Structure 1
Amino acid sequence: MQFRQIGEDVCGPVYAGFRSIDYVPVAIKYVKGPHVPYEMNAYKIPVEVALMHKVAGGPESVGNFSTVSLLDWYYLDQQLILITERPVPSQNLTTYLDSQGGVIEEQEAKTFLNQLVDATDEMHRKGVFHRDIKSENILVEIGSSVPCVRLMNFGCGSFVQERPHHTFSGTLACAPPEWYVRGEYKAGPTTVWQLGALLYRLLHGFRNSTMGILCGKMQLSRDSATQLSQEDVCGPVYAGFRLMDYVPIYKIPVEVALMHKAAGGPESVGKFAAVSLLDWYYLDQDLILVTERPVPSEVLTTYLDSQGGIIEEREAKTFLNQLVDATDEMHRKGVFHRDIKSDNILVEIGSSVPCVRLVNFGCGSFVQERPHHTFSGTLACAPPEWYVRGEYQAGPTTVWQVLCTRSSG
């Protein structure tokens, strides 16, 4: 018996129903002819049917797997009819998120992701590649204290294979980056990408497309970040925690290039005298940089204020030695900070001997033989030759700024 429509995927509508013989709740999916991969006759089994049987069995397996089970299937005119189990009460993840205000707590998101990782790992071991993991294709069983998620809608799926896939079936917004870059993709990395994108949506409420991320147009919830007291000439700085990694964008801003040259990426955290860059992307017209944040730490300006405005000569000498070593290392790597001041120096205060690190490379440039003729940075920290001759070079400017750093009040 068929009742109301409860959903629709790229292949056709899905209705709620009950099996006549025992009134077990079922879902009835109609797949129109062009969407059925195999020829519709009695001798060939449609791909979706084969995939569902491989991953979750038939009627005897209801409720035993992390994917919904197929109860029956048949053809009606030019349509494929699929009868699947329908847990009650349940709703798809999109509807569940809407009922929770668009996002869920991190602990619940972690529970969902753990279940989905186990589910997709089991599927891949059985040779099944879903290929279209998104909130609309995930069912949430809400009848218990801890909601359980189940995968459904295998209409865009395929079999796991060693060689890459060269045609994509599914939601293009969820296609993996390598599909856009190289025109090919594999089951494992694609599934990881789609699960990562789903986790981001669970926590932030935004559905970001792959192409949008590649083009630097990823939405970010600023409510999840805490603004620090520091702010440089380019904009505010927020404290936060990295949730996932994204592929790089094609055009690299100067500040990103400088930070990579000076201190590397995520693998270099804590190894250099400059803070490392963990991630970066664009939000509308803003460049978002995610950097390491040593804890506990504070900018040198704040640290000096906490010490009454000045520090002892021995400590000042320690800081100066560290800064000299840091800037010397940067110059050897071809990086010119150009705005060294107390606001752009981070003090790690977790040990008996505080350690200083350079931050904020937004005014920086590359070291060059010829003089610079335009100045970017804090004008009060510009070297004398800039005011006298209208030009300056990296070495003398850095020496001037390090010596002028506010260490004596």
Structure 2
Amino acid sequence: MENVRITARPATWLMLGIVLVGLNLRPSMAAVGPLLSAILGDIALSFSVASLLTMLPVMAMGLAMFFAMGISQRLGEQRTVLMSLAIIGLATVARLFVDSAAELIVSAVLAGFGIALIQALMPAFIKSRFPDNVALCMGLYVTSIMGGAAIAASFAPLVMSRTGSWRVGLAIWAGLALLALLFWWAQRVNTPRGSAPAVRKQSFFTHSRAWLLAIFFGLGTASYTCVLAWLAPYYVEKGWSEQNAGLLLGFLTAMEVISGLVVPAIANRSRDRRVVLMALLGLIIGGFCGLILSPQYLSLLWPCLLGLGIGGLFPMSLIVSLDHLDNPQRAGGLTAFVQGIGYLIAGLSPLMAGMIRDQLGSFEWAWWSLTAVMVVMLLMVWRFDPRHYARQFQ
């Protein structure tokens, strides 16, 4: 995949297509948390088993990353995106008919597989099509992912209350997949194709820097997946309604959207991303401490801090990975490895938090654990000195 510069108008349409695709990569998970109490009232689930609705699709995303690049090279970028959107849409609409925990979990895993195919492809796709504005375009793409989560978290309870069915609240997001699929299909003729890969496929399993990047991405994403799964149930346990708890999660993800747009644009001014990364981790630490010590007082401030921190950390973790290699295909392979290992790590966090909730009766110890993880990440940031990137993958 070589750099394919495109003119302004096709670039705008292509970026809009990427944004529409990105909107589909989280609703299948984000809609579950705000509706969890209604689901638990209809299907017998413990908190540990309920955590599988977030954990297993994230784990599926991680595992699928390792062969997703191969699939996209065989099928081509266009067909891979279209197939992925079809899988996500079918898995989501199937939730209209689920009657058991197993069926709900299978739908989540299938959606996770479709999501992984797109997420493995997009960083290299963006780096090849927008080589002069990688950070900005990655910010738009990741922001659209979080925007999809915000929409689903905010409106799924409203859909449930209007229709009287949590199944409709989960399944309605198949409409987003259909919209993106039709738009991408309509634009396929105008979307420039990358040339055949010019470099051999490279394994990153033996590179210590690749593992450092993957662990950093995984630990950061663990905070995202855990908050996505358990913030709304945490506040429902504090006496909030599902609607208000869902809106709070929607507010958090709206802050992620703002941060995902602004932070990469700020970071684009310098190749050294460390100060930005440390500031984002500081915001997350402050948010978790507030959730633990004062969840009801200043209840909008803590999700705001978490959203701003997590929303910037997610794209910045991928941008730092892309910074290490100039060739789009090699960089895409590295980000696929980083996401593959990272999502396997992140997928464990909702399960661990659910187990902590079952054993100790509170999510607060899970928030403390994630706070400690963010402190460890602060120490890892100092390794990302751009002056040393060139020698890491020689």
Q: TM-score, normalised by structure 2?
A: 0.23
Greater relative contact order (CA < 8 Å, ≥ 6 in sequence)? 2
What TM-score, normalized to structure 1? 0.22
User: Which of the two has greater helix per residue?
Assistant: 2
Specify the structure having the higher radius of gyration (Cα): 1
